[in-house]
Structure 1
Amino acid sequence: MTDSISSVLSQIRAYQSQLGQASRAGDVARSDTVQGLAGMREAGLGGTVSGPSFSDTLRNALDGVSQAQAKSGALQAAFERGEPGADLARVMVASQQASVAFRATVEVRNRLVQAYQDVMNMPL
């Protein structure tokens, strides 16, 4: 169970670093793994942080999972047709990447639902 949690966390960190690299300006560098922590620190200093919102981050992560699944499906179809560039190893690696990405997405969704239920069950 601990291995699955650490793999989910590493997948989330990988998505976040990809998003950080894509949205980062040439002269802005972030050293924090979690960009929200930097935002909280800078907000305390009176500054504003312009970074991707939670919904943008979630949407980009879901798009990445969708692209991984589409790539896996395309490689499987190419392998079934017997195309020379689609060997079994590439098909299996793409399939496993899509599977891990999907499982990570489901785990994040489960955690968000649990957090929502915890907040809704808090006494006033």
Structure 2
Amino acid sequence: MDIKGNSLYAQMQSMAVEATGNRLPTQMNTDVNQVSQVNNSGSNFANLLSDAVNKVNEVQKEAGDKRTAFELGDQSVTLAETMIAAQKASVAFDATVQVRNKFVEAYKEIMSMPV
């Protein structure tokens, strides 16, 4: 049983060397600081994604406000400004939908991987 355990460990080491591009890994053990670093980056990503969605929402609200002001006859808002704001909102929303689609696609791919 101990021989098989050593063999498995040797296989894992060789796979680690292959994964790092045939460079010897400097440290094989993982410590708690490395794990918490990964968790911090995940929370930063969540904040980044939330900020991006909020920005798209602001752009859409701004476009809606300009559209409403133009429809009500406000002389300070031109048709060109209204159309540009509407196009910015459209592009921002389309980009957000595409990012969401990529996330869903990546999630499905990860979930279909064998363990």
Q: TM-score, normalised by structure 1?
A: 0.59
**2:53 paired residue number:** 62
Aligned pair 1:120/2:111, yes or no?
A: yes
Tell me the equivalent position of 2:88.
97
> Which has the higher Rg, Structure 1 or Structure 2?
2
Given the alignment of the two structures, is residue 88 of structure 1 paired with residue 95 of structure 2, yes or no? no
1:72 corresponds in structure 2 to 63
Alignment RMSD, CA only?
Answer: 2.1
- Structure 2 distance, partners of 1:107, 1:120, is 20
Structure 1 residue aligned with 2:101: 110
Q: Distance in 1 between matches of 2:114 and 2:74?
A: 61
- Greater helix share, structure number: 2
Question: What code does the residue aligned with 2:47 have?
Answer: D
Q: TM-score, normalised by structure 2?
A: 0.63
Output the amino acid matched with 1:74.
D
Match of 2:61, as an amino acid?
A
Q: Which has the higher contact order (CA 8 A, sep 6+)?
A: 1
* CA distance in 2 between partners of 1:114 and 1:88 (Å): 39
CA distance, structure 1, for counterparts of residue 74 and residue 63 of structure 2: 15
Unmatched 5+ residue regions in structure 2?
Answer: 1-32
Shift in Å, 1:85 = 1.1
Runs of 4+ in 1 over 2 A off after TM superposition: none
